[in-house]
Structure 1
Amino acid sequence: MTHTGKPGHDLTGDETGAPEPDGLGARLVVDHGTFRLDIALTAAPGEVVALLGPNGAGKSTALRALAGLTPLTAGHLHLDGKKLDRLPPESRPVGVVFQDYLLFPHLTALDNVAFGPRCQGATKAQARATAAAWLDRMGLAEHSGAKPRRLSGGQAQRVALARALATNPRLLLLDEPLAALDARTRLDVRAQLRRHLAAFEAVAVLVTHDPLDAMVLADRLVVVEHGRVVQEGTPQDIARHPRTDYIAQLVGLNLYTGRAEGHTVRLDGGPTVTTTEDLTGRVFVAFPPGAVTLHSSRPTGSSARNLWRCEVAGMETHGDQIRVALTGELPLAADLTTVAAAELDLHPGAEVWATLKATQTHAYPV
């Protein structure tokens, strides 16, 4: 995705919270009962940042804090050099697209989009002209007179996005914007949303559970677990170097930690793994389930450097393949075709041998 900003540019300033002139610089601290959110979040103009994390990690709390719907317990929030901490939501240059869109049911698509400009002081004619232009950009000009109940899910999502953008926000917040769509519509709307975000010149923050949404739409991922940032970086970097079990599962990798001596890694509480990298010290070892080969008996003459005896713990359909959960010498996941699973007569409790070539592994420092 092409943007004018500089992804990853530090905008937090010093410990007093002094920001750089442009973009988002925030430390969001929110106490809610026994839960505490404490994350630093920065973004340059033109950058799309995705917040990823399991349920209860604090993603939605962070989004509400940015919007002004949840007050900060501590920290700071600056946007384009201006302090937003104590401004009410309606005074912030922020646009929000909610998961359920929250369109006004009694207003047409045109008047839904015109609502924001009207609140900013535009005349009815000016607001409607702005709204009509945005609906045209979204490919919805012929639906301007329709009320939300007559719109499809994809159309409603685009109206909600147009409503958020019609106020010329400096910060666009998207809360699970594709979650309410069916699979086919989601595919089309994701592509459209990507084009609109690529043209958006301010900061966009996306909250999502879907790794594909994050990988396609965002320049940078910020992974939050238990109210803290556990990893951030480009989608490519995070997919290749996961640092927690949640991230590994998200991107579909087996992930372990251990101590490396050359090409051999002694896993924590487990066997050794032979890797291509020559490292020393604490490391992560990752490999995709598709790199694992299963055998009904101990293979002979195999070129694979890694061999473990395992037991099938469970099986499930995963796309057009079967994902097999294995326990034993090394708990892991393996992907294989339906035909291969049938030929191996796989079932819970079955004993198998798992092999993995060293060239299929990836080791990197903890």
Structure 2
Amino acid sequence: MSTFSTSSTQDVPSPALDTRLRVDRAAFTLDLALTAAPGEVIALLGPNGAGKSTALRALAGLLPLTGGHLRLDGRVLEEPARRLHTPAEERPVGVVFQDYLLFPHLSALDNIAFGPRCQGRPKREARAEAAAWLDRMGLAEHASVRPGRLSGGQAQRVALARALAVRPRLLLLDEPLAALDARTRLDVRARLRRHLAEFEAVAVLVTHDPLDAMVLADRLVVIEDGREVQSGTAAEVARRPRTDYIARLVGLNLYQGRAEGTRVTLPEGTVVVTTEELSGPAFVAFPPSAVTLHRDRPQSSARNLWQLRVTGLDLHGDQVRAELAGSLPMAADLTPAAVAELGLAPGATVWASVKATQAHAYPA
């Protein structure tokens, strides 16, 4: 039999991960399709209760599917219609849990060796492999240390090594940096990025932190209410958010209306002027930094001008974020000096202007 193909799809590799996760629960349904190429890192993002953890548990085999399928490297691991379910312990899957779940009575070395030992490898071989992983993680001198004496960053690296030591074809990471302090998080994020770049199989990361997702993942999949609402590279998702959650995640003011030329009319009648010409349903977005505030109506060339009310002021990095309500609720970023000069306080009335060149419109 010839091993060559003349089809037009001969250069398109089969996905390493091909799944549709359907999980029906009492008051919630997850229905999510995912595909990933070998070496690809996917980040699942979404608000609390969106279904991220349910998806991860279903991939791991800890939560059975009620519909759909799960194929990994062409092998069917689960398909309810055929009553096929591969138990979690028999799946080539490694998991790094949010709180790491290291065995407290075992040393770092033996925590990592545990997986290979369960796969039937001799003790000496398993411990030698664990030692190699510790060295790779920069923890060779902590081989005999138990988890209770490890720092958060060290424990995270041991947990990652334990997951990788079983040579998984699918690596699942559940909020892997959530338990770390801000300073440790920077270092561990950089280390994790290097390890994921070297990982040849598929990795799926669940996180609430957009920075973690953007630094670590090749592609973002945003889910809300158990379903995908948007996917793409970090740049694609950030440039054209399609829900309020995503807009807040990437720091944009987002509205949906109907476009006629350069004007987007929102449902309540407010108009936002842009420089893009569109026709039909459209989104329009602009960053809080694009909003200029005035106490009196300005003599401005800005084509977008609204009278709004300050409802809150919060420190946002080295800026102050003003939350504004009225005909077009929005967030605006100002310097502390500008806040003082304008005399802003909750309840104050202001005029907000945005240049048309800074308001970006795109099809809904």
Aligned equivalent of 2:337, options 336, 339, 349: 339
Contact 2:261–2:276 under 8 Å retained in 1: yes
Alignment of 1:252-267 (within 5 A): 252-267=251-266
Contact 1:24–1:43 under 8 Å retained in 2: yes
DSSP 3-state at the match of 1:84: strand
Shift of 1:270: 3.7
Stretch moving more, 189-198 or 264-273 = 264-273
The one-letter code matched in structure 2 to 1:332 is M
Q: Distance in 2 between matches of 1:118 and 1:21?
A: 32
Shift of 1:308: 0.6
Q: Distance in 1 between matches of 2:144 and 2:280?
A: 65
Structure 1 residue ranges without an equivalent (≥5): 1-9, 11-19
Match of 2:135 in 1: 136
Contact 1:97–1:161 under 8 Å retained in 2: yes
Shift of 1:350: 0.3
Match of 2:202 in 1: 203
Shift of 1:21: 4.8
Match of 2:303 in 1: 305
Residue deviations 1:290-319, cap 9 Å, x none?
11000010111x221111111101111111
The one-letter code matched in structure 2 to 1:196 is H
The one-letter code matched in structure 1 to 2:63 is T
Match of 2:284 in 1: 285
The one-letter code matched in structure 2 to 1:36 is T
DSSP 3-state at the match of 2:357: helix
The one-letter code matched in structure 2 to 1:287 is F
Contact 2:303–2:355 under 8 Å retained in 1: yes
Alignment of 1:172-321 (within 5 A): 172-300=171-299, 302-321=300-319
Structure 2 residue ranges without an equivalent (≥5): 1-8, 79-84
Match of 1:14 in 2: none
Residue deviations 1:321-346, cap 9 Å, x none?
11111111211110101110111111
Q: Distance in 2 between matches of 1:347 and 1:129?
A: 63
Aligned equivalent of 2:63, options 65, 70, 82: 70
RMSD after superposition = 1.1
In structure 2, the CA distance between the partners of 1:22 and 1:295, relative to structure 1 (3 Å rule), is closer
In structure 2, the CA distance between the partners of 1:140 and 1:256, relative to structure 1 (3 Å rule), is same
Contact 2:15–2:35 under 8 Å retained in 1: no
Aligned equivalent of 1:46, options 39, 52, 64: 39
Q: Which runs of 4+ in 1 moved over 2 A?
A: none
The one-letter code matched in structure 2 to 1:223 is V
TM-score, normalised with respect to structure 1: 0.93
DSSP 3-state at the match of 1:180: coil
Match of 1:127 in 2: 126
